[in-house]
Amino acid sequence: MNEKENNFESLRRLLALKRHETPPPGYFENFSREVTARIRAGEMGGTADVSKPLPWLFRLMAAFEAKPAFAGAFASALCMLLFFGIVYAERPDATLQPLLTAQVESPVNVPPSPMSLALNTLPVEQPVVIPINSTNPVFNAQPASMIFGRSSATVQPLTFSLGN
């Protein structure tokens, strides 16, 4: 134990060297001036009235610097909010879902018009029931290849010849 204490004493003497490490001469003469200049110019946005309240973000960041526990609590609260937001967004909407399913399963709920009655007499294909989902893209019954009419593109060899 005594030897250990002696070793600590040697270490303490060695650490004393750190006290002799000094910054360049004149360094501290300008230090406070630089600090106050930065406060005036940058941090205060160039305004002369420094007693005006700082923006809320600066004050929040300053509070985080002073109390890391506050920063941790704030971050935890933010994570919780995000988590509940995701869970809530993933959950199916309880009020809208029965309405949507009812519309899909019984597509003809409105009284038939004379025009539709006439059309119903014609032989038509069974309508395709597409489940309605808010995340589905807008359904386009027309095939993509038919957008510009019938595809008639043909591949032909192309030759180039130099002029005379």
Task: Point out which residues bind other proteins (CB under 8 A).
Answer: 3, 6-8, 10-24, 27-28, 31-36, 38-40, 43, 49-54, 58-59, 62-63, 65-66, 68
Question: CA distances (Å), 30 to each of 15, 23, 26, in order?
Answer: 28, 12, 7
Contacting residues for 34 by C-beta, under 8 A, at least 6 apart: none
Cα 93 to Cα 148: distance, rounded to the nearest angstrom? 39
- For residue 91, count CB atoms less than 10 angstroms from its CB and return exposed for 0-12, middle for 13-18, buried for 19 or more: exposed
Q: How far is the CB of 73 from other proteins (least distance, A)?
A: 15
The angle subtended at Cα 132 by Cα 104 and Cα 118, nearest 5°, is: 45
The CA-to-CA distance between both ends of the chain, in Å, stands at: 105
Q: What distance in Å separates the CA atoms of residue 44 and residue 6, rounded to the nearest whole number? A: 53
What's the min distance (Å) between Cβ of 62 and other proteins?
Answer: 4
Nearer to other proteins, 53 or 143 (CB): 53
* Between 26 and 111, CB nearer to other proteins: 26
Nearer to other proteins, 16 or 144 (CB): 16
Nearer to other proteins, 56 or 160 (CB): 56
| Residue 50 beta carbon to other proteins: minimum distance, rounded to whole angstroms | 4
Q: Please, which residue, 31 or 84, has the CB nearer to other proteins?
A: 31
Query: Cβ 135 to other proteins, closest distance in Å?
Result: 40
Q: How far is CA 120 from the centre of its chain?
A: 51
Q: How far is the CB of 49 from other proteins (least distance, A)?
A: 7
